[in-house]
Structure 1
Amino acid sequence: MPKPVSTPTAFNQLPIAGPARRLMALVYDALIIAGLWMVYGFLAMLITSTFGSLQCHPEALDYTPCVGGPLYQLGLLAVTAGYFFWSWRAAGQTIGMRAWRMMVANNNGMQLSWYQCTIRALVAPASLACLGLGFFWGYFRQDRATWHDLASDSEVRVLPKKGKKK
């Protein structure tokens, strides 16, 4: 059962995040994903060169037999989807969203379902692939909804600044 990310009325009263803020958070997330891909690539190369019958040729800088091909790319996709799904389901925020004080939830202020995460993860790359049109679509709508917000019935809100502790 989905849990509320905050009280529904409080979440719906927060300002909606604009496309520029979302893209900046995506830059942060891209750095995290690049690091996760490096760790995955290291582990994949270690496992295939140790247990697999593939012959890597490091002296020729040819690691293609060790890491490459559809199975490796499927693993990269799984690592990327896992990062976003875990972040959206656990806290409603990725690391980039946390840095830019944003949170994603469904329109009722509840955490995203697995279905919503899947739809969001499938439509967001298409939003970027169309030269960012899916993100900039938010500038033309009063509710600032992007393609992946509309498709997944979710919204991204800006969280208030935390007060300084004395």
Structure 2
Amino acid sequence: MPRRFHDAEELFPPATALKRALAIIYDGLISIAVLLVTTWIYTMITGWIRGWEHMERMAEAGQLSGDPGLTFLLFLVLYLFFAYFWTHNGQTLGMQVWRIRIENLDGTSVSWTQSLLRYGTASAVVFLAILGGYYLGAVALILALPAIVALFYPINGLSVTDRTSNSVVVALPKQVKKQL
């Protein structure tokens, strides 16, 4: 059941691109820590199951890079991390610091499906930019930067991720207390 943050008639202004960018940087740093811990746990479990000698031989042969199981796990953990915050209180830790929130147009929390659409859109554009930069060189990555910026930069108050998930990122006034 969606959580109601405020009355449907009460409208908050869209979050500015600067606040969005600062929250993304903050959440990016937290995401790195989450991914490092997840990778460590995955490596420990894999080493225990396969045997440390086998893992050492694979590492020396360069066979540990590009593990599809780890890649899928990291994608899933990061989605669960963001979706949990978005569906429960509309704010990741970085969004709480910069007083912005993701919500539906009627002031309710987004669903897990909306979170998946939002996360999937962002992931796809960033993945294609990185892939293009890897295969086509730095020039392609530089040319892809406008697409990455457009992904999160709001035009008429809505970014690409807002449009695909049918939600909006709003700026919270100082007097609104954080709801748990």
SS in 2 for 1:24: helix
**Match of 2:149, as an amino acid?**
G
Q: Distance in 1 between matches of 2:105 and 2:43?
A: 43
Equivalent in the alignment of 1:20: 18
Cα-Cα RMSD? 2.5
Q: Which residue of 2 aligns with 1:149?
A: 162
Pair 1:5–1:29, CA change in 2 (3 A) = same
Q: Which residue of 2 aligns with 1:8?
A: 8
The equivalent residue for 2:46 is 48
Q: CA deviation at 1:49?
A: 0.7
Matched, 1:57 2:70: no
What one-letter code is carried by the residue in structure 1 that aligns with 2:148?
A: L
Q: What runs of 5+ residues in structure 1 fail to find an aligned partner? A: none
Q: Which residue identity does 1:134 align to in structure 2?
A: L
How far 1:9 moved relative to its partner? 2.6
User: Does 36-45 or 125-134 show the bigger shift?
Assistant: 125-134
Residue 6 of structure 1 deviates from its aligned partner by 2.4
Does structure 1 conserve the Cα–Cα contact (< 8 Å) formed by 2:3 and 2:88? Answer: no
- SS state at 1:124 partner: helix
Alignment partner of 2:148: what SS?
coil
Distance in 1 between residues matched to 2:107 and 2:84, nearest whole Å: 18
Q: Which residue is equivalent to 2:140?
A: none
Which residue is 1:124 aligned to?
A: 122
Aligned pairs for 1:81-160 (under 5 A) are 81-126=79-124, 129=129, 130-136=147-153, 138=154, 141-142=155-156, 144-160=157-173
Distance (whole Å) between structure 1 residues aligned to residue 100 and residue 29 of structure 2: 18
Query: Which consecutive residues of structure 2, in runs of 5 or more, have no partner in the other structure?
Result: 130-146
Q: Is 2:97 aligned against 1:80?
A: no
Q: Which has the higher helix share?
A: 2
Deviation at 1:118, TM superposition (A): 1.2
**How far did residue 65 of structure 1 move?**
5.1
Indicate the percent of aligned positions where both proteins have the same amino acid.
28
* TM-score normalised over the length of structure 2: 0.77
Looking at structure 2, the residues matched to 9 and 25 of structure 1 have their Cα atoms a distance apart, in angstroms, of: 27
In structure 2, do the counterparts of structure 1 residues 18 and 62 end up closer, same or farther at CA, with 3 Å as the change threshold?
A: farther
Quote how far apart the aligned CAs of 1:66 are. 5.8
Read off the aligned partner of 2:81 and give its amino acid letter: Y
Q: CA deviation at 1:150?
A: 1.0
